[in-house]
Structure formats: C-alpha cells, structure tokens
Amino acid sequence: MPAPPQVTFAMPRPGRALWGVLIALTVVGILSAFLGTWVPGGERPFLWLGFRPAVAFTQPWRLVSSGLLTDPTHWMHLLFSLVGLYFLGASLEERWGPWRFLRFLGAAVVLGNLTVLAVDLLAPADGQARFHPPFAFGPSAALVAVSVAWSREFARSTVNLFLFLPVRGRVLFWVTVGFCVLGLIYPSAIPEGVAAPFGGLFAGLLLGGTPSLARKAWLYAKLAVLRRRSSALTVEDVLSSRPKRRSRPGLPPLRVVPGGLEDVLKKRNPPKDKRYLN
C-alpha cells in the first residue's frame, strides 16, 4: 500500500477539476468586484447568484452558484478561498478522481446553504441577526468540507497550516471544528452565514473518506436487502440444479407446448442403412 502523500510547501499539482474550480472562483470574484465597483447596476449578477433563504426552493440554482462568489469589497476572502482549496484539494482530487471531487464540492456548498436555511427557520424570529441572513455567499462550506475530508484521508500526513505551521491530519480536523465554533462566538460577519461551516463539516464527515460514511450506509442497506431475500430460499432451492423462477403477478401461468424438432426425431424410424448418417 503506497504511503499517504505529504502536502507541504513544495506546491502541489492540481488536477483539471481543481484548476477549473480555482479559475472559476478567480474570474467570478474579480469580475463581480469590478462590475459592482465601476459599472452602474453591475451588482445585479452578483445578487442573482447569491443564496437567499426566502427563495431557496423557487430559485434552486442559488444553492450551488453562491459557492462561486466571494466578498466583492475585499480581496482577502478570494485569496483565502483559493489557498485553502489549492493546498488541500489537490491530494483529494488525485485520490478520488475529478468527478467525485467536483460532486463533493457541490454537495458541500448545498449542505452549507441548507444548514443556513434550517437555522433561519428554527431560530426565534427575534433572535440575533446572524442566524437570519437575508443573503449568503462564499465557499466556506466547501473549504471546511475539504479540510475535514483531507484529515480523514490523510490522517498521518502533514500540512503546513497558514503556510508555515505543520499540522497532522488528525489535528487538522479539530482545528477545523474550532474555527467553526469561533465563527459562532465572535460577532464578525461571515458572508456564508455562521451556520454554513457546520454544513460543510457534516458534508466532510458524511462524504469524505474511502469508503465514505454515505457509501458504507448504502452498502449495509444493500446487504440487508440481499439477506432478506436470501432468507426466503428453501433447501430445495439451494440443492436444485435448476434455478427456481418466480412467476410475475398478473401474468398467465406458463405451460410447455409439445412439438419441435426433438419430438419429430423421436417419432421418426431410424434408417436400415446407417452408413450415410453423420
């Protein structure tokens, strides 16, 4: 079994999927900042892509498109998102493949937004405004999910946190949980919503790992169905050389129609001279 890769300052090599995500984040982030700052009415595309809990189900594209947006008023949000995905996402894509990696990022953003929506519905209406964001955007849930998934896949490997602090994969998981909790304690505004990182945490635990918890649950459910079907078998079914075929409900019973080549040959008298038989 090959040793787990080490993610260090040696600059990992992203795959095609991660390159696509990084380029999309950069283009959308810079373009939305430029349009919102210099073009009258240029903030409309940004507002059209962000997540609004009030229209979450009537405009479902916002559940995914909001993950491509970053704060148009400051470049640090974009830079932090790119760095986090770059240093942790390359190893995940290499192990999972591009399609699973993309599905994972999309599911993390959706679960993050759904967590924001759930908190908005469950929290008291007169509660703190941080639990009722009218507009949310950003890839925070995807970053948390990638961090949790990386800590599960490479628990014994080391990553340089903030580019200089070496941290083991197992420790990175608890560091990520700590940042999610700090987002609830400190009143600083989080564009994604304070509940979105916990949705990403759940996505990382559910969909990260090989096999993931979701995959294990599916396999156990499939095994239970197979065991339930096998319990209906009898000893005669197992010892019989011919498999037992169950008739479909609503269909007429099957019967054997006499005739055919075998019956014709049985009734035919053999020739007296057998020299010309093959």
Q: 80, 140 in Cβ contact below 8 A? A: no
Give the whole-angstrom CA distance, residue 76 versus residue 67.
16
pLDDT in tens, 67-97: 999 999 989 999 999 999 998 999 999 999 9
Residue 113: closest CA among 148, 180, 74, 61? 61
Largest Cα span, the chain: 106
**Would you say residue 2 lies in a domain?**
no
Q: Report pLDDT digits (tens) over 206-259.
A: 999 888 999 899 999 988 888 887 776 665 665 555 655 555 555 566 666 666
User: Does 46 reside within a domain?
Assistant: yes
Asked, for residue 239, whether it belongs to a domain, the answer is no
Q: What is the CATH number of the domain that holds 133?
A: 1.20.1540.10
Residues 26, 30, 33, 36: what is their CA dihedral angle, to the nearest 10 degrees? -110
Q: Per residue in 151-202, pLDDT tens?
A: 999 988 887 776 677 888 889 999 999 999 998 888 677 899 999 999 999 9
Per-residue confidence (pLDDT) for residue 51, from 0 to 100: 96
Q: Is 6 contained in some domain?
A: no
Range of the domain at 167: 16-216
- pLDDT of 149 higher than 90: yes
Q: pLDDT over 70 for what percent of the chain? A: 78
Residue 227 lies in a domain: no
232 part of a folded domain? no
Tell me if 182 sits within 8 A of 144, measured CB to CB: no
Q: Count the domains in the chain.
A: 1
pTM greater than 0.95: no
